[in-house]
Amino acid sequence: MRYQALATDYDGTLAHDGRVSERTVESLQAFLATGRRLIMVTGRELPELLEVCHCNDLFEWIVAENGALLYQPSTKQEKPLADPPPEKFLQALAARKVEPISVGRVIVATWEPHEKTVLEVIHELGIEWQVIFNKGAVMALPTGVNKATGLTAALEQMALSPHHVVGVGDAENDHSFLKMCVFSAAVSNALPAVKDTADLVTRADHGDGVAELIRAIIDHDLANFGGKIP
């Protein structure tokens, strides 16, 4: 068994319109039945993820807030991977009427076209923060925090190497963790840039695409891969 774990994005990959279908859940269960392991890597804040996703317990670890927070469903333990946002940052964004805005344990999230204002505030305050995009979403995080750093932290907890992990995603903020996995896949609804860099593009979209990938891993451990899923 070369591929021992699957690391998957949530919105736009595993989920469609925020929900995971029963058919996709069944494929995740089949994956686990082979002795393999699951990791979710998402930009979502944990409370809203737990509200919309009802299959969290299938995942050994959840990397939330685009790499800034680790969560273990089996113990319900959270571990922030960076410091919370400075209060002066939040106050400056509020003063400039950046809304809607959401603040997690670390992440500060809003939507386009507020990215320019967020970047201006970061520059003016002289804080080491960055902006990451996700299909219209604008996420501010400490510099160096991304899905790859979050997945690295999860794999350390699992004593697992990225050389045994398949990654699947759909958007620009998935590039970092897909690149660190030994094999990367993009669902058919993914952005063109993600498809261009992935090792494989599924025929189906969203959760059906993830299920397609899982079938290929279970059936032949991707040994028959030749540009398309057989």
Q: What is the DSSP string of 149-163?
A: HHHHHHHHHHT--GG
Q: With beta carbons less than 8 A apart as the criterion, state whether 223 and 33 touch.
A: no
pLDDT at 78: 97
Residue 51 neighbours by CB distance under 10 Å: 10
Tell me the mean pLDDT in the region 143-161.
Answer: 98
Report the candidate in 226, 162, 171, 164 with the shortest Cα–Cα distance to residue 199: 226
The CA-CA-CA angle for residues 82, 113, 185, to 5°, reads 60
**pLDDT the model gives residue 223:** 80
Contact 67, 81 (CB under 8 A): yes
Q: What are 37-52's pLDDT values in tens digits?
A: 999 999 999 999 999 9
Q: What is the pLDDT of residues 2-50, one digit of tens each?
A: 899 999 999 999 999 999 999 999 999 999 999 999 999 999 999 999 9
> Is the distance from CB of 178 to CB of 189 less than 8 angstroms?
no
Fill in the amino acid letter for 211: A
- For residues 224 and 163, the model is more confident at 163
Lowest mean pLDDT among 111-125, 140-154, 214-228: 214-228
Kindly list the structural domains of the chain, giving each domain's residue range(s) and its CATH number in brackets, ordered by start: 5-81+145-220 (3.40.50.1000), 87-142 (3.90.1070)
Tokens 């992990």 label which residue?
165
Please, are residues 19 and 180 in contact by the beta-carbon 8 Å criterion?
Answer: no
Strands 5-8 and 37-41: parallel
The count of C-alpha atoms lying within 13 angstroms of the C-alpha of 5, restricted to the half-sphere facing its C-beta, is 24
Q: Using 50, 70 and 90 to split pLDDT, how confident is the model at 224?
A: low
Q: How far is CA 216 from CA 3, 107, 130, 145, 227, in A?
A: 11, 35, 37, 32, 13
pLDDT tens digits, residue range 185-195?
999 999 999 99
- The band of 225, judged by pLDDT with boundaries at 50, 70 and 90, is low
